[in-house]
């Protein structure tokens, strides 16, 4: 099974790391989250700055895109 895991607390948040570890027991986990906390910005719009993504390794079991 392929699982998409995302949040608004950031890729290094302890909760997403714990959930990622547990979901590995169910299948392949693809994690995408902001680099920094973005809580309460769901209705924001980006006009002048391009959105950039980069692959990051968080620990030996978790990597994702920020």
- Tell me which DSSP letter residue 15 carries: H
* pLDDT, position 47: 80
* pLDDT, position 60: 87
The three-point CA angle 23-25-26 to 5° equals: 70
The Cα 66–Cα 64 span in angstroms is 7
* pLDDT, position 1: 94
Backbone angles phi, psi at 4, to 5 degrees: -100, 120
Tens digit of each residue's pLDDT, the chain (66 residues):
999 999 888 898 999 999 999 999 999 999 999 888 877 776 777 788 888 899 999 888 898 999
* pLDDT, position 6: 92
* pLDDT, position 35: 85
């Amino acid at each position: 099974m392929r699982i998409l895991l995302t949040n608004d607390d950031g890729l290094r948040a302890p909760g997403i790391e714990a959930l990622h570890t547990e979901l590995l027991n169910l299948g392949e986990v693809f994690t995408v989250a902001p680099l920094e906390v973005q809580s309460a910005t769901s209705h924001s719009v980006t006009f002048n700055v391009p959105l950039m993504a980069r692959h990051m390794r968080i620990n030996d079991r978790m990597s994702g895109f920020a």
